[in-house]
Amino acid sequence: MSVYTSGIYPVDILEDDPAGHREAALAYCATLGEGAWPSPEVISLPTGEQVKLEASSVCFCTVHCDEPQHKILVLVNPQDTKTVVAVYVKESWWTTEDVLRTSDPAREGLMKVQSFGERIVLFILNIVIFGRLERNLDDDDMFFLPHSVKEEAKILWRDGAAVGFYTTKRKGSLCGDGTGVCYLLPVLDTVFVRRNHRRQGLGLAMLRDFCQTFREDEALGISWPISPAMYQVCRKFLAAHPEERGRLWEAEPPGAWGQRVNIWLKVQLQQARRPD
């Protein structure tokens, strides 16, 4: 078996039916476990590497942290079982890069995640690309866990591929399971841009979109702690948009006044501490 390549991609053809997708994957997995074929099929990856389709090389991953029944079947690298190399969708295996692609020219720019196919794209960007392939596991960068099915997100599409995303916590949404505490302001929770697309202003574009989406709110939060890279995005954005300086706060849940620090004030204080 080779990887599916036809000019169309999972996000364009997958029905919005998580349960049906899971049942189809379970049925396929059962035949794999029974050894229905005399010899294991092989998937050829774009790198030229070949991976055998064996029960020991496939597993189910949960797409949402709060919906355990929403699962996808993935193929892992036998030499590194934490690295996903392909996803089973519509009776075919697709490389992770193809899962992130689209043949729909209307998918361009920041678009709200709505369908199950788009949730899979978000999962691959978040867990596979950021979590393993484009992350130095020895550094102090924050690790993104699977998102809640209720969490709002936008994917950044560019030239037929998903190259980044951001997620938000709505004002009034619960801060977490088992708590009745709700966010007191909209919060920009996670932001990611793929390595090859950084330093092109895409982080600034996502922050600008977040501010415009919640233009009626007097205060907006960015999840504490803000990473060094995101801090630089905030600094550049606020330098260019003085009207937003009073609105953006580094916020811990639920975002009460004692849990906020004005980001522009932090920028000014850090600059004041620098030696002349």
Same domain, 219 and 127: no
Q: Which of 163, 186, 202 is the last residue of a domain?
A: 163
Give per-residue burial for 110-141: e unless 16+ CB within 10 Å, then b.
bbebeebbbbbbbbbbbbbbbbeeebeeeeee
Could you tell me if 108 and 147 lie in one domain?
Answer: yes
Contact 59, 88 (CB under 8 A): no
Q: Where among 106, 134, 163 does a domain terminate? A: 163
197 DSSP 8-state letter:
G
Asked whether residue 139 falls in the same domain as residue 26, the answer is yes
Residue ending a domain, among 121, 142, 163, is 163
> Which residues, 6 or more positions from 68, have their beta carbon under 8 angstroms from its beta carbon?
62
Q: By residue range, what is the domain housing residue 267?
A: 170-276
Number of folded domains that form the chain: 2
| Confidence at residue 175, expressed as pLDDT on a 0 to 100 scale | 87
Does residue 147 share a domain with residue 231? Answer: no
Rounded to the nearest 5°, which phi and psi values hold at 187?
Answer: -130, 130
Residue 56 and residue 142 in one domain? yes
Together in a domain, 56 and 121? yes
**94 and 126 assigned to the same domain:** yes
pLDDT of 234 over the 70 cut = yes
Instruction: Say if residue 16 is in the same domain as residue 45.
Output: yes
CA distances from 151 to 79, 142, 174, 188, 261 (A): 34, 18, 10, 11, 24
- Would you say 72 and 87 are in contact if contact means Cβ atoms under 8 Å apart? yes
Looking at the fold, whether 134 and 213 belong to one and the same domain comes out as no
CA distance 212 to 98: 31
The 10s digit of each residue's pLDDT in 115-147 is 989 999 999 998 888 766 555 544 444 444 566
Q: What is the pTM of this model?
A: 0.87
- If we measure between CA atoms, which residue out of 15, 156, 174 comes closest to residue 91? 15
Looking at the structure, do residues 124 and 177 belong to the same domain, yes or no? no
Q: What is the per-residue pLDDT across 151-186, written as a single tens digit (0 to 9) for each?
A: 799 999 999 999 999 999 999 998 877 778 999 999
